[in-house]
Structure 1
Amino acid sequence: MSHSILLPRIMEVGGDACQKLPSVLNSLNVKKPLIITDKMMVTLGYVEQIQTILAAVGIKADVFDDTVPEPTDESIEAGVARVQNGDYDSIIALGGGSPIDSAKAIGILGKFGGVIRDYKFPRQVTEEGLPIIAIPTTAGTGSEVTKFTIITDEAANEKLLCVGIAFMPVAAIIDYRLTMSVPARTTADTGIDAMTHAIEAYVSQKRNPYSDQQALAALRLIGPNLQTAYHDGKNEKVREAMMLGSTLAGIAFCNSSVALVHGMSRPIGAFFHVPHGLSNAMLLPAVTEFSIPAAAERYADCAKALGVALQDDAVDSANEKLVQFLKSLNQELKVPTLAEFGAKQEDFEQLVSTMCEQAFASGSPNNNPRVPNPEEMLQLYRSLWATVLSH
């Protein structure tokens, strides 16, 4: 049985990879890029750094810096208008997952029109939008190497998953030096997001031998380095390992899938405005514990790759260590509960049935080794709240 593997056409990986941007644009035969980013990238000087690199070869790059965290259909409208009214031949997506996701949607809507809901999964989006050169500045989402974008429909309070080769960047520039200034909270959230990508890709029902290898390699990089990156953000070696781990995890889930954690995570983000990596972290221990009986050996492999279990540990022992590690990791990395984040229990109770519906509708839960029935998903969401009470 064969498997379709999708990757960016060009990848530059390592310290100072940004310097290769002019040659990447040249090889793609594009000369008028629009940089899509956010205000923080401007403040940190990264936008100016990219513009300076391009100016040295005579390329002037305009900037759209109005993307927002957890992008919405409304937040990308101005970017779509900018593309439609300009004569850009490419997009440089600079930032964390949100600017890159925004750029993917803007590249398609700017060229083909419509609204983002028109492109919602299960539609496979194959149109050729503006070519995107993705430059991630966090070690987390892996968006630079995936065929996905997630945009919230504000009116419906729903995170729309959009899928297809159209959303795969043609080039990815993976320069860990851009992550050196990421604050501890974002380092934790994006790092757990990357770890979740690798675990879910490895246990997914859509897994394959290629995605398995990428997932295990990602876990071997993330496991020993995530806590150090959180506590000591200036450690270059650790930042480099996390950046590569994040990209490999992105390749893994793009060519396998995410599963139940992500399916349940999106509604938490949509209704309570919890950052994506953080909502994954809230769910990961409980969902892992729920799923282990259906894929015990696979989860044990994850525990061993992360370095939290020994290679000769029995399967049950390795999985006990994995669940304990995930729980203690959340405490060490100060992952707040939903209540601590500011959610109200009465709002949660009112919304939890809709959250279950949206989670199932995304398709991701069906990729899980153990697919919950509606009552089990309800219990998993409620266990999140029970954790709140005992935290």
Structure 2
Amino acid sequence: MTVAAIALPRLAYIGAGALDRLGSVVETLGVQRPVVVTDSFMVTAGVAQRVLDLLSDAGTTPTLFDGTVPDPTTASLGPGLEAVRAADADAVIGLGGGSPMDTAKALSVLFAHGGTMGDYRAPGPYTGPALPIIAIPTTAGSGSEATQFTVITDSDTDEKMLCPGLSFLPIATIVDVDLTMSMPARLSADTGVDALTHAIEAYVSRKANPFSDGLALAAMRTVVGALRRVYADGSDREARAAMMVASTQAGMAFSNASVALVHGMSRPIGGHFHVAHGLSNAMLLPAVTRFSVDAALDRYADCARAMRVVGDSADDRTAAHALVDELTRLCADVEVPTPATYGIDADDWSSRLSVMAEQALASGSPANNPRVPDADEIVGLYREIYQ
């Protein structure tokens, strides 16, 4: 029997009102000089100030860095690193979607160990010095609050670098549905399909294990029932809460099983064309599943049954191919654009496909896929999804 190495946050508070536990978290961890890493929207919305007040009430001296950008780059980390150094921080708190949490993770390691993010790129993993990371997600999708990965784009090459290792795993996470109630429909859809992709890829990954399997199946069952609801009605608090739990479960699943071809191909789309990570996953998910399905009929069939796409008595082939149909319908229902309808120029898209395929393979994620592609097959998939 293969031994699975499982790593999870030491502390996790999940549920409505969980943010109020922040003070007890920093007290438990002995934090005195935290830097809150977030974006301008969290400041405008008043959430950042609420976090700062909770930290001050707990007796700490917090600092705010609100300069994170969507899909953080190596260049965007500079001002954040200066803020962490100026505060002589003893912890970083990532507040926001995947980008602020990824930024916080990167700053944690750069402050404690130095170098550049290129030094920490896959295959890694990095397990050296790092500041404690506390993650407070405000979207339901990235799962970054529970993963041992960060993704940073190289400003010089537009390559989205996957940086793995236990040092990037938050020591504590606070998952509060109330922080997601103002998410717009497009963001709800993109992050929701991102969570579903995490769950499916964790389950079909060549590195899957019984622990990650249970989390992945539970997450995909929840997402397929709740995602259309939050897209149609952002005030549906029950569905919002379900999506938050599923996102964290999916994050725990893929952190301990790895992702596969969708993510390998998604990162170059984001790096070259500045497409949000969840959206680029959504653009790819049906086509990549169709490409992969016959290589793991039993695993994809399990996904279909968990999502109640078919009954338990359906044979594997029928169930697995029904899953492809359901993913296609789901992405249509939440109006996922193609690269073409998103506005990416056809010639620009075509000119970058070879480089994108090379970068996808170099990330290592495609090697975890049930059907491992070569560069030409990846280029073919990129061409297929364009329209």
Q: TM-score, normalised by structure 2?
A: 0.98
Q: Which stretch shows the higher mean deviation, 119-128 or 240-249?
A: 119-128
Amino acid corresponding to residue 246 of structure 1 in structure 2: S
Structure-2 separation of matches of 1:251 and 1:229: 22
Amino acid corresponding to residue 263 of structure 1 in structure 2: G
Residue 139 of structure 2 is matched in structure 1 by 138
* Matched-pair contact (CA < 8 Å) for 1:16–1:175: yes
Q: Which stretch shows the higher mean deviation, 351-360 or 110-119?
A: 110-119
Q: Which stretch shows the higher mean deviation, 51-60 or 165-174?
A: 51-60
Residue 322 of structure 1 is matched in structure 2 by 323
Q: Secondary structure at the match of 1:356?
A: helix
Amino acid corresponding to residue 215 of structure 2 in structure 1: Q
**1:127 Cα deviation (Å)?**
1.4
Structure-1 separation of matches of 2:332 and 2:209: 33
Residue 302 of structure 1 is matched in structure 2 by 303
Residue 97 of structure 2 is matched in structure 1 by 96
* Matched-pair contact (CA < 8 Å) for 1:81–1:110: no
Q: Secondary structure at the match of 1:225?
A: helix
Amino acid corresponding to residue 298 of structure 1 in structure 2: R
* Matched-pair contact (CA < 8 Å) for 1:84–1:111: no
Amino acid corresponding to residue 125 of structure 2 in structure 1: Q
Instruction: Report matched runs for 1:158-177 at 5 Å.
Output: 158-177=159-178
Residue 149 of structure 2 is matched in structure 1 by 148
**1:304 Cα deviation (Å)?**
1.4
**1:176 Cα deviation (Å)?**
1.2
Segments of structure 2 that go 5 or more residues without pairing to the other structure are none
Structure-2 separation of matches of 1:214 and 1:86: 38
Structure-1 separation of matches of 2:332 and 2:297: 24
Deviations 1:190-232 (A, max 9, x none): 0000000000000000001111011011112111101001111
Amino acid corresponding to residue 367 of structure 2 in structure 1: N
Residue 352 of structure 1 is matched in structure 2 by 353
Residue 212 of structure 2 is matched in structure 1 by 211
Residue 271 of structure 1 is matched in structure 2 by 272
Residue 4 of structure 1 is matched in structure 2 by 5
* Matched-pair contact (CA < 8 Å) for 1:223–1:305: no
Structure-1 separation of matches of 2:233 and 2:312: 28
Residue 254 of structure 2 is matched in structure 1 by 253
**1:331 Cα deviation (Å)?**
1.4
Q: Which stretch shows the higher mean deviation, 372-381 or 144-153?
A: 372-381
Residue 114 of structure 1 is matched in structure 2 by 115
Instruction: Report matched runs for 1:167-246 at 5 Å.
Output: 167-246=168-247
Structure-1 separation of matches of 2:69 and 2:291: 34
Structure-2 separation of matches of 1:127 and 1:84: 18
Amino acid corresponding to residue 374 of structure 1 in structure 2: A
Q: Secondary structure at the match of 2:225?
A: coil
RMSD: 1.0
Residue 38 of structure 2 is matched in structure 1 by 37
Deviations 1:118-153 (A, max 9, x none): 111122211121111100000000000000000000
Percent identical pairs in the alignment equals 52
Structure-2 separation of matches of 1:316 and 1:3: 29
* Matched-pair contact (CA < 8 Å) for 1:215–1:252: yes
**1:72 Cα deviation (Å)?**
0.2
Residue 69 of structure 1 is matched in structure 2 by 70
* Structure 1 residues 85 and 54: alpha-carbon distance in aligned structure 2, compared to 1, 3 A threshold: closer
* Matched-pair contact (CA < 8 Å) for 1:266–1:276: yes
Structure-2 separation of matches of 1:194 and 1:307: 17
Structure-2 separation of matches of 1:6 and 1:161: 18
**1:335 Cα deviation (Å)?**
0.7
Deviations 1:293-312 (A, max 9, x none): 11011101111112222222
Amino acid corresponding to residue 188 of structure 2 in structure 1: T
Amino acid corresponding to residue 9 of structure 1 in structure 2: R
Structure-1 separation of matches of 2:215 and 2:385: 30
Residue 29 of structure 2 is matched in structure 1 by 28
**1:48 Cα deviation (Å)?**
1.3
* Structure 1 residues 84 and 57: alpha-carbon distance in aligned structure 2, compared to 1, 3 A threshold: closer
Structure-2 separation of matches of 1:338 and 1:203: 26
Deviations 1:298-346 (A, max 9, x none): 1011111122222222222222321111111111111111011111111
Structure-1 separation of matches of 2:74 and 2:58: 35
Residue 374 of structure 2 is matched in structure 1 by 373
Establish whether residue 313 from structure 1 lines up as the match of residue 322 from structure 2: no
**1:99 Cα deviation (Å)?**
0.2
Equivalenced residue count is: 386
Structure-2 separation of matches of 1:350 and 1:376: 16
Structure-1 separation of matches of 2:307 and 2:76: 37
Segments of structure 1 that go 5 or more residues without pairing to the other structure are none
**1:58 Cα deviation (Å)?**
3.2
Structure-2 separation of matches of 1:57 and 1:127: 29
* Matched-pair contact (CA < 8 Å) for 1:11–1:173: yes
Q: TM-score, normalised by structure 1?
A: 0.97
Structure-2 separation of matches of 1:351 and 1:193: 24
Deviations 1:233-274 (A, max 9, x none): 111110111000000000000000100000011111111111
**1:59 Cα deviation (Å)?**
2.9
Structure-1 separation of matches of 2:67 and 2:84: 13
